[in-house]
Amino acid sequence: MSNFKLDEVSKVLTEVRKRVPLVHCITNYVTINDCANVLLSYGASPAMCEAYDEVFNFVKISSALYINVGTLTKEQETAAILASMSAKINNIPVVLDPVACAAIPRKIQVIDRILKVGRIDVIKGNIGEIKFLAGETSSVKGVDSLDTGEGALDSCIALSDKYNCVVAATGKKDFVAYGKNSAIIENGTEMLTKITGAGCMVGALCGGAAGAFEDKFISTVSAILSMNIAGEEAYREAKAPGSFRVKLIDYIYELSEEKLKKEGKITWN
Amino acid sequence: MSNFKLDEVSKVLTEVRKRVPLVHCITNYVTINDCANVLLSYGASPAMCEAYDEVFNFVKISSALYINVGTLTKEQETAAILASMSAKINNIPVVLDPVACAAIPRKIQVIDRILKVGRIDVIKGNIGEIKFLAGETSSVKGVDSLDTGEGALDSCIALSDKYNCVVAATGKKDFVAYGKNSAIIENGTEMLTKITGAGCMVGALCGGAAGAFEDKFISTVSAILSMNIAGEEAYREAKAPGSFRVKLIDYIYELSEEKLKKEGKITWN
Amino acid sequence: MSNFKLDEVSKVLTEVRKRVPLVHCITNYVTINDCANVLLSYGASPAMCEAYDEVFNFVKISSALYINVGTLTKEQETAAILASMSAKINNIPVVLDPVACAAIPRKIQVIDRILKVGRIDVIKGNIGEIKFLAGETSSVKGVDSLDTGEGALDSCIALSDKYNCVVAATGKKDFVAYGKNSAIIENGTEMLTKITGAGCMVGALCGGAAGAFEDKFISTVSAILSMNIAGEEAYREAKAPGSFRVKLIDYIYELSEEKLKKEGKITWN
């Protein structure tokens, strides 16, 4: 069974490249360029559309909506809520990245509003953020999680039940849950924590995968696995963050179904 | 005649480096860093000034104004319109990048207002955008053009007549028109479509060239040619997008009049 | 004495890496990604928090606040002033980067307000900006200083007296003053002027150093020296700006106390 699922996970990449999903992103300005570049390298088509008088209609022509609450301006906040409403009406999948929600209460208000009026198909956060959203205590420092990951899968499962959506918590290991299904991914490299935007880029990739593949549990596992394996390959060649970032984008571009199948270390439950 | 024009086109680069034009940019946050870096490598001096209470006066000390409507916030929208008014009053050349105008109606409203109260010397868009502005149908996907380029030169000529400005449409081939003059540029590499910001960077370079050279038709051809030739050189060394971006900036920096003259493939009409 | 001080300067790096200071940044969108990455490579933890309803509380959990007035939006302006008030109340060190203050009067108004209601521990600008703030004439072009540096140390001393804070002026040589203490740093490379954000990144590093070390004069000298030495090393391997930027981040990451001690060229007064 395990191999069968990894096969499916790997196929997501081919679907992304075949369908070239238009990923509508409302995201923070720190890593907005990284998100656009990683989506292009992945095979998707990013569009950073965030004016509140543009988003409602733009969502309609999009394959997926990625909302990252990292440094939401007031204009972006309004846009994110309107865009999520449009996604609900137009049946467009939404990936939410609850950046810094454990450190900054306003993030929670925005997320609550999106949950009320819009829709969320996938929540992808770091372990600290996911535990916080699941109502548990966790250790965070600003936008970073200091959590070791113990109990993270349970938090994903609890949050998935609460919101009836796919939930992913990234860290040293990555955890993904949806209903009775869950996965633990053990690829990746610590160097991903030495560059800004690794989390945001994973979130954007989750958007790309969700826009090209029906099963959002599988698509989310695939997006995270893609980032991790590209990270492993980049780290083999580049041991410092500047060079690593460059190689990371290169290896996202050079991913293949075969590579994902061969390198993927996933435990399914 | 052809060689004489290519000589002139190549000279623009030397003028940019001699005059170091201050290019006032109001541009989207996705690629704002790329635009600043490409202008510095080109030899120009970028200044991203976009507060509405700053731009009117800042335009006065600038050599050119570059307006990119990619992700215009409300503040930037006001700033862009005020800046274009100041450019008209103070006789500063304006380059407009009508990003996503075919997909998002609001962009057209902003462009119309700039045309009414300000000035535009050069419009540089992708083929889908230029055809749309020229009132023709075209195929676009979000911010990207899916157009093959057939009829693009006619669209440039029509739009140039309509607004009495230089018009450039970039794609597999690039087209530039002004009045009776037109040029088709056949340099470049498809890898430029695998990174975000290639179009924005070309637009910024058009601003740099316009700020240093009187003839805006020639300066626009030169800016586009510069990007294309740097792209070709970058692609020779880097076959994946992360590395390609790095080399692209390197080769903009290492451009020379001689290289432009030797490598330029331009058909004049 | 000279060696004793360089030892202390070098120790700042180890303190940053031990304490991992949370650096709250309110900074321009042109180089916001560079600032985050350089802080991560330095060993600090960046957080770009800038919503006016978030900053007051976020400052409390931060080790230092970095305010860069480069392209301050209205939201950021309000946030910067509120954050500086919180910093005063909560005793958090503040580093101010007065980008373009000599070219754009609004910057001065913002700085004045911060000085009135908040606090400033370190002002780090280019020579043109520091001279302007000190009430002297200087030659600037947009955001760049054309000043040769003559008299720059006197300007730093005068401004340090005026505001009772550490003042640093960067250029071909760098000058730092606080009360009776001053330092001239002669490391660095001109290639730092060919990329955007070198000044902003130095400012961010000053924030990181201030968040981890008690003596803000020494911490500021250390941050500037770190950037310069990493720049020298990057330039040895990369002679064009695209590659240079990548290596610069790499060499910030690979800095060591020993390297700073060995390579530092500082004259103390």
Q: Do C33 and A245 touch (CB under 8 A)?
A: no
To the nearest whole Å, the CA of C62 is away from the closest chain A CA by: 8
Contact C39, C68 (CB under 8 A): no
Question: Which residues, in sequence order, are CB contacts of A98 under 8 Å at separation 6+?
Answer: A69, A107, A111, A123, A125, A129, A130, A133
* Smallest CA–CA distance from A101 into chain C, residue: C54
Q: Where are the alpha helices (DSSP H) in A32-122?
A: 32-42, 55-60, 74-90, 105-117
pLDDT tens-digit series, residues B197-248: 999 999 999 999 999 999 999 999 999 999 999 999 999 999 999 999 999 9
Phi-psi region of B117 (alpha: psi -120 to 50; beta: other; left: phi over 0): alpha
B65-76 as b/e: b if 16+ CB within 10 A: bbbbbbbbbebb
Amino acid type, C261: K
Query: According to the model, what pLDDT value does residue A2 have?
Result: 55
- Chain centroid to Cα B241, Å, comes to 21
φ, ψ at A267 (rounded to 5°) = -105, 125
Q: What is the C-alpha separation between B124 and B156, in angstroms, rounded?
A: 10
pLDDT at B137 > cutoff 60: yes
Residues in chain A, total: 269
pLDDT tens-digit series, residues A6-18: 999 999 999 999 9
φ, ψ at A212 (rounded to 5°) = -120, -5
Chain B residues within 8 A of A41 when measuring between CB atoms: 194, 240-242
Q: Do A48 and B33 touch (CB under 8 A)?
A: no
H helix count then E strand count, chain B: 11, 11
Q: Which long-range contacts (CB under 8 A, 24 or more apart) does A254-259 make?
A: A254/B240, A255/A13, A255/A42, A255/A226, A255/A229, A255/A230, A256/A13, A257/A10, A257/A11, A257/A13, A257/A14, A258/A10, A259/A229
Nearest to B242 among A58, A73, A246 (CB): A246
Query: According to the model, what pLDDT value does residue C146 have?
Result: 79
Chain B to chain C Cβ contacts (< 8 Å): 89
HSE (side-chain half, CA atoms, 13 Å) at C223: 37
| Strands of C94-97's sheet in order across | C45-47, C22-26, C64-68, C94-97, C122-126, C166-170, C174-178, C181-185, C266-268
pTM more than 0.95: yes
- Greatest CA span in chain A, whole angstroms? 47
pLDDT tens-digit series, residues B33-44: 999 999 999 999
Query: According to the model, what pLDDT value does residue A62 have?
Result: 98
- ipTM, two decimals, is 0.96
At CB < 8 Å, which residues of chain A contact B? 20, 22, 24, 29, 32-33, 36-37, 40-41, 45-51, 53-54, 57-58, 61-62, 73, 75, 245-251, 253-254
Query: According to the model, what pLDDT value does residue C2 have?
Result: 55
The DSSP letter of residue B186 is -
Query: According to the model, what pLDDT value does residue B147 have?
Result: 78
Which chains does chain B touch, 3 or more C-beta pairs < 8 A?
Answer: A, C
Query: According to the model, what pLDDT value does residue A47 have?
Result: 96
Chain B residues within 8 A of C141 when measuring between CB atoms: 20, 22, 45
Question: Quick check: helix, strand or coil at residue C95?
Answer: strand
Q: What is the C-alpha separation between B269 and B142, in angstroms, rounded?
A: 32
Question: Which residues, in sequence order, are CB contacts of A154 under 8 Å at separation 6+?
Answer: none
Question: Quick check: helix, strand or coil at residue B180?
Answer: coil
State the pLDDT confidence band at B105, using cuts at 50, 70 and 90: confident
Q: Do C245 and A246 touch (CB under 8 A)?
A: no
**For A37-49, what is the mean pLDDT?**
97
Q: How confident is the prediction for chain C on average, in pLDDT?
A: 95
Query: According to the model, what pLDDT value does residue A231 have?
Result: 98
In percent, the amount of chain A with pLDDT more than 70 equals: 99
Query: According to the model, what pLDDT value does residue A138 have?
Result: 79
Query: According to the model, what pLDDT value does residue A150 have?
Result: 87
Q: pLDDT tens, position by position, for chain C (269 residues)?
A: 457 899 999 999 999 999 999 999 999 999 999 999 999 999 999 999 999 999 999 999 999 999 999 988 999 999 999 999 999 999 999 999 999 998 888 899 999 999 999 999 999 999 999 999 999 987 777 777 777 788 999 999 999 999 999 999 999 999 999 999 999 999 999 999 999 999 999 999 999 999 999 999 999 999 999 999 999 999 999 999 999 999 999 999 999 999 999 999 999 99
Query: Sign of the C-alpha dihedral, residues C58, C61, C67, C71?
Result: negative
Q: How confident is the prediction for chain B on average, in pLDDT?
A: 95
Contact A66, A102 (CB under 8 A): no
Query: According to the model, what pLDDT value does residue A139 have?
Result: 77
Q: Do A54 and B197 touch (CB under 8 A)?
A: no
State the pLDDT confidence band at B2, using cuts at 50, 70 and 90: low
pLDDT at B68 > cutoff 80: yes
Q: What is the C-alpha separation between B205 and B66, in angstroms, rounded?
A: 9
